[in-house]
Chains A and B, each alone.
Chain A
C-alpha cells in the first residue's frame, strides 16, 4: 500500500502486558517494519493521555493508519476509534492487536509471548494497510413502540413510553392484562397487595390515549429493522372460530415481555401432584388466599401445612437454575397461612434458603420467629409424600432426610404446597423466531451482554424485559421494563439511527442468484429480488457476522472491513517467522 503512514501504539496495561511481553523489543521490531512511521509504548493507552497521544501524533506526523496493541477490541475498539475521529481521521483506518487476552494473559514464557505479540501486531499492520475509510449510514427512527406481553413488565414499559408521549401498541394474548401477577395475592417481602400494584397501572393504561391495547391477540409477523419495523397483529379466534384480519402497524422498536410459565408439578411423579388431592401448587394456594379461605379438598381448615421448595428448580432432571422468587414466596405463604389460622403448624422444606434481595433476610428472620419449622433436604434426595394411616391425625406424612440433623424426619401435613419454579413458555421458540432473537439452553431469551446490556438483544431494536429473560422478582422485572423503555426513548430522541459502516454487501453485477445465502442469515438481513434475480442485504439489519460472505460461491458478497484481501494479508502477517532474541 502506497503512502501508508502507520502509527503503532503498544500498551503495557500497567503490568498486565509488560510483565510477560518484552514491550521494548516489540517496539524495536515494529519500528523497522515498512510503512510504520512511528511506534510508542505507554503504560495505559486507554487513558486520556494515551488517547491524546494518538490524536497529537496523527496531526503532527500526518499518520493515516493507526494500530493499537493492547486489550480486546471488545473492550476499547470504540475508545480508540473515538481518538481517530477527534483527530479528523476516518475511524475505520484503525486496527487493534489483542496482546493481552490473547497473549500476555495466556502465556508465561517471555520468548513465546513476545514473538506472538510481534506476529499479532504485524498481522494488524498488514490488515490496516488495506483498510478503507468507511462512512456510516443513518436511517429514520419511528417513535412508535410495540410491546409484546401485558404482564407487569409490558404494562410498565408501555406506561413509561406513553407518559413520554410515544405511541405504544400493547399486545396481550389473554383477554385481560396483568399476566402472572394477576394470580397473586400479596407480594414478598413487604406484603404489598399485588392487586393494588396492578389496579393503578390498569387505570392509567385505560386512560392513556397513547396506548392501544390489543386483547386476545398475537403478533403474527414482524419484518424490517430498527427504526422501521412492520408488525402484523391478529386477534385470535375465540369460540367463534372466525379468522380476523391482521392489523398492520409501523414501529421503530419492540419490547418482548412474554413472561414465564410455572413448572408442571405432575412431572415429579412421587410428589403425587394430581393424584393426592391435597398436594397443590403455589398458584393454587394463591387462588385460595385470594378467595379468602385456605382449606383442604374436603373443605377442612388444614392443621398441618408443608411447603416444599425447588419444585422443578435446581435439579439436574428438570431445571438446573434457581427460580429466584420461590423462597420468599414460601415465607410469604407461611406468613399468610399463619395469619389466617394462627394454630396451624407450618413446615418449610427447602434445599437452601435464597434470601438475597433487599429486605429478604429480615423477612426470613421474621418468619423463623413465627415458629415455622424449617427442614433442609439434600438437592438429590427429595422428600417423599405418603398418605397417612387411619391412626394419624393428619392427611399425609412427608419423609425428609433432614440435612442439618442428619436424621430421617417424618412430618405431618394436611396440605402440601409445591413451590413450582419458573420455566420458559412453550411458545417462547415461536416468539424468538418471530422477533429474531436467541434462546439459551433453558429457553430464556438471550441478552446481548449479560452484564452490560441486560435488556438489549443481538437484533437492534428488539429489547427483552422481565421473566422471559430469566426468572426474577417484581422489582427486577419492573426495573428491566423501565430500562428497556429508557433505552428506546434515548434512541427515539435522536430521531435517526446510526448504522455501523461494517456490514456485508452484495455486488449485484456478480451475484448470479444462486440463493445459497438466502436462508443462512441469522439476522434475516438477506432478501431476494425475484425480478432482478439477485440477492440483497439490508445493511441496517446486517451485523457483519460474515456467514453469507463465506457462503457466497462467487464472491459476490463482500464483508466490508473484512475483505478477503484484508484477511489474507492479516494471515500473511501472522504467519511470518519471527525470532525474539533476549536483549
Chain B
C-alpha cells in the first residue's frame, strides 16, 4: 500500500460575520471530497460539533491552516482570534470582514453606546420599557454568567493578531479558495507572508469587458436605476459610481456581469494605503466642474458617500472610526 501523506489540519472560524463566508466554503460542493481527501477539518463551528475547549487543548501550531472569517467586534471574537493564531501555522483572513472590517465595520460610524441605544431601545420592532441591556456578567443562583464584551470598534483581523494571508471577497469566490487550498496541499511555493491570495494584482477594469474610453469626466452621478444601461459602456462613463477601478480583480467582475456596478468587496490593490480616500480622490479628479456651487451640486448626488467608498474597508482606513 502506498504510504499516505499526512493530512492537513484545517479549521474554519467565524467571528463578526454574516455566515456567507462559511457558506462559500460549503459551496465547494462535490469538491469537498477532494478537500477531505487531503485535509482533516478539525474545527468548524457552522458544520461540525467541536468546542472551544477542543481547540484550547490542541498543542500550539497544531492546525495547518485556519480560514478566519468575520471581523473582531467583541471579546469573544478577540479571544478566538488570539487562540487560533496560537494554534495555527497559516492564519488566513478570509473574506472582507476579516480582511478589512467589512460591512460590520460601518458600525464604526457610531459608538457602542449609540448602537445599543438604537438596538435595545429605539428600533421600530423593540418594546423594552425597562431599557434592559445585555450585561457582561450576570449573577444567577448557579453562579456568574458571562457574555462577550461589546467593543466600541470593529477591527479587521490583522489589527488583533498577526495574519499570514488575506483571501478577499464578500464572500470570496469558492473557485479562488480551492485554488489557494490546492496550492497549499500540493506544496506549491507560497507567496510572501502578508500577501493577498486568491485575487488579481490589477483592478477590476483589467478583466471587465465593458468598453472604456478616455472620456471619464462626470457632470452628474446617477444611481443604477436612473440610467438606461446599454450593458456595454463603462459604468463610470454613464455616471454610475462603480468601485471596480479601485478594487482588486479576482471575482471575475461578477456584479458587473450582472449589470450592477462593483461594490468593492475585493478590497484595494496592493499599494493603496486607504481604499476609500483613494476612490474619493479619483472621483474628485474627474468631476467636470470648476464652479464651487456646481461641484457641490454634483457631489450631493452621491448617496451615502461613506457607505459607498468605505463599504467594506472603514476599520482599515487611516481614519477608521467616528471620533470618540
Residues of B within 8 A of A509 (CB): 201-202
Interface residue B27 (Cβ < 8 Å from any Cβ of A) = no
Would you call B67 an interface residue if the criterion is a C-beta within 8 Å of the partner chain's C-beta atoms?
A: no
A74 to B201, CA, bound (A): 39
Whether the pair A512, B216 counts as a contact (CB closer than 8 A) is: no
* Cβ of B69 under 8 Å from chain A: no
Instruction: Say yes or no for B246: interface residue by CB 8 A criterion.
Output: yes
Interface 1/0 per residue, A526-563 and B, CB below 8 Å = 00100001000000000000010011111110100000
A568 engages B206 (CB within 8 Å): no
Chain B residues with CB under 8 Å of A564's CB are 271, 273
Which chain B residues lie closer than 8 Å to A511 at the CB level?
Answer: 202
Chain B 183-217 per-residue mask, 1 if CB under 8 angstroms from chain A, else 0: 00000000000000000011111100000111111
List chain B residues, Cβ under 8 A from A556.
Answer: 202, 269, 271
Q: How far is the CB of B214 from chain A (nearest CB, A)?
A: 4
**Chain A neighbourhood of B282, CB < 8 A:** 516, 550-553
- Collect the chain B residues with CB atoms within 8 Å of residue A528's CB: 214
- A554 pairs with B215, CB closer than 8 A: no
- Asked if A111 is at the interface (CB within 8 A of a chain B CB), the reply is no
The minimal Cβ–Cβ distance linking A509 to chain B, given in whole angstroms, is 6
Contact across chains for A553 and B203 when beta carbons are under 8 A apart: yes
Given A510-B201, A553-B203, A553-B279; A516-B271 close (CB under 8 Å): no
Contact B285 A513 (CB under 8 A): no
| B244-294 interface (Cβ within 8 A of A) | 244-246, 249, 268-273, 278-279, 281-282, 284-286
Chain A residues, Cβ within 8 Å of B212: 513-515
CB distance from A429 to the nearest CB of B (A): 16
Please report the number of residue pairs spanning A and B whose Cβ atoms sit closer than 8 angstroms: 90
Q: Are B216 and A516 in contact (CB under 8 A)?
A: yes
Q: Which one of B205, B236, B268 has the highest number of Cβ atoms from chain A below 10 Å of its Cβ?
A: B205
Q: A551-B286, A564-B271 are contacts. A519–B217 as well, Cβ < 8 Å?
A: yes
User: Closest Cβ of chain B: how far from A130's Cβ, in Å?
Assistant: 13
CB <8 Å contact, B281 and A550: yes
The answer for the CA separation of A513 and B210 in the assembled complex, in Å, is 12
Listed residue (B204, B234, B268, B272) with the most chain A CB atoms within 10 angstroms of its CB: B272
A519 touching B215, Cβ below 8 Å:
yes
**Residues in B whose Cβ lies below 8 Å from that of A518:** 214, 216
The answer to whether residues A550 and B202 also contact, given A515-B214, A555-B269 and a CB cut-off of 8 A, is no
Cβ-based interface call for A520 (8 A): yes
Docked Cα-Cα span, A375 to B213, in Å, equals 62
Cβ-neighbour of A510 out of B216, B271, B278, B279 (below 8 A): B271
Q: State the CA gap A516–B244 with chains docked (Å).
A: 12
Q: Which residues of A contact B244 (CB under 8 A)?
A: 514
Residues of B close to A515: CB separation below 8 A: 212-214, 216
Instruction: Give the shortest distance, in Å, between B269 (CB) and chain A (any CB).
Output: 4
Closest B residue to A527 using CB positions: B214
Query: Quick check: B206 and A512 within 8 Å, CB to CB?
Result: yes
Q: In the complex, A363 Cα to B236 Cα: how many Å?
A: 65
How many angstroms from the CA of A564 to the CA of B269 in the assembled complex? 14
CB-nearest residue of chain B to A548: B285
| Chain A residues closer than 8 Å to B206, beta-carbon distance | 512-513, 533
Assess whether A555 is in contact with B268, with CB atoms less than 8 Å apart: yes
**What is the bound-complex CA distance between A510 and B279, given in angstroms?**
15
For B249, give its contact among A507, A512, A520 (CB under 8 Å).
A512
Query: Is A516 a contact partner of B286 (Cβ separation < 8 A)?
Result: yes
Tell me whether B205 and A513 are in contact (CB under 8 A). Answer: yes
Cα of A412 to Cα of B81 in the assembled complex, Å = 99
Q: How many residues of A contact B (CB 8 A)?
A: 27
Residue of A nearest to B242 (CB): A514
Interface positions, chain A 496-517, Cβ under 8 Å from B, are 507, 509-517
Contacts of A565 in B (CB 8 A): 273
In the bound assembly, the distance between CA atoms of A108 and B215 in angstroms comes to 50
- Which chain B residue has the least Cβ–Cβ distance from A556? B269
Q: Are B273 and A512 in contact (CB under 8 A)?
A: no
B269–A510 CB distance below 8 A:
yes
Most buried by B among A533, A555, A558: A555
Q: Is the CB of B278 within 8 A of A555?
A: yes
In this complex, what residue of A is CB-closest to B208? A512
A172 to B215, CA, bound (A): 34
- Evaluate contact between B216 and A554: CB separation under 8 angstroms: no
**How far, in whole Å, are A556 and B203 apart by their CA atoms in the complex?**
10
Residue of B234, B268, B269, B272 with most chain A CB atoms under a 10 A cut-off:
B269
Cα of A519 to Cα of B273 in the assembled complex, Å: 25
User: Taking the nearest CB of chain B, how far is it from the CB of A357, in angstroms?
Assistant: 39
- Asked whether B281 lies within 8 Å of A551 as measured between CB atoms, the reply is yes
Contact with B along A191-206 (1 / 0, CB 8 A): 0000000000000000
Given B201, B268, B285, which contacts A516 in the complex, CB threshold below 8 Å? B285
Cα distance A513–B244 in the bound complex, in angstroms: 11
> A528 vs B215: C-alpha distance in the bound complex, in angstroms?
12
Considering the complex, which residues of chain A in the window 470-521 have a beta carbon less than 8 Å from any beta carbon of chain B? 507, 509-520
**Bound state CA distance, A533 and B278, in angstroms?**
21
From residue B203, how far is it (CB to closest CB) to chain A in Å?
4
A510 and B282 alpha carbons, distance in the complex (Å): 16
Q: How far, in angstroms, from A510 to B249 measured CA to CA in the complex? A: 11
Interface centre among A528, A556, A558, A564 (most CB of B within 10 A): A556
Q: Is the CB of B281 within 8 A of A554?
A: no
Q: From residue A132, how far is it (CB to closest CB) to chain B in Å?
A: 15
Closest chain A residue to B237, Cβ basis: A515
Contacts of B245 in A (CB 8 A): 512, 514, 516, 553-554
Q: Is the CB of B205 within 8 A of A568?
A: no
A510 vs B204: C-alpha distance in the bound complex, in angstroms? Answer: 11
Q: Are A568 and B273 also in contact (CB < 8 A) when A514-B244, A553-B245 are?
A: yes
**Cβ A520 vs Cβ B202 within 8 A:** no
Binary contact track A223-263/B, C-beta < 8 Å → 1, others 0: 00000000000000000000000000000000000000000
Residue of B nearest to A519 (CB): B214
B204, B216, B249, B268 interface centre (most CB from chain A within 10 Å): B216
Task: Looking at the assembled complex, report how far the CB atom of A223 sits from the nearest CB atom of chain B, in whole angstroms.
Answer: 15
Residues of chain A within 8 A of B268, CB atoms compared: 554-555
Contacts of A533 in B (CB 8 A): 206
Verify A555–B286 contact, CB threshold 8 A. Answer: no
Shortest CB distance A462–B (Å)? 23
Q: How far is the CA of A357 from the CA of B248 in the complex (A)?
A: 65
Q: Are B273 and A514 in contact (CB under 8 A)?
A: no
Known A-B contacts A512-B249, A516-B245, A564-B273; A553 and B278 likewise in contact (beta carbons under 8 Å): yes
Bound: A509/B205 CA distance, A = 13
User: What are 14 A-B contacts defined by CB distance under 8 Å?
Assistant: A512-B203, A512-B206, A513-B205, A515-B212, A515-B213, A516-B216, A517-B285, A550-B281, A551-B281, A552-B282, A554-B202, A556-B271, A558-B271, A568-B273
Of all A-B residue pairs in the complex, the 3 with the closest CB atoms, nearest first, are A551-B285, A512-B203, A518-B214
Having A514-B205, A520-B286, A551-B281, one finds 18 other A-B pairs with CB under 8 Å, namely A511-B202, A512-B206, A514-B244, A514-B245, A516-B236, A516-B286, A518-B214, A519-B216, A520-B285, A547-B285, A552-B278, A553-B245, A553-B246, A553-B279, A553-B282, A555-B272, A556-B202, A564-B271
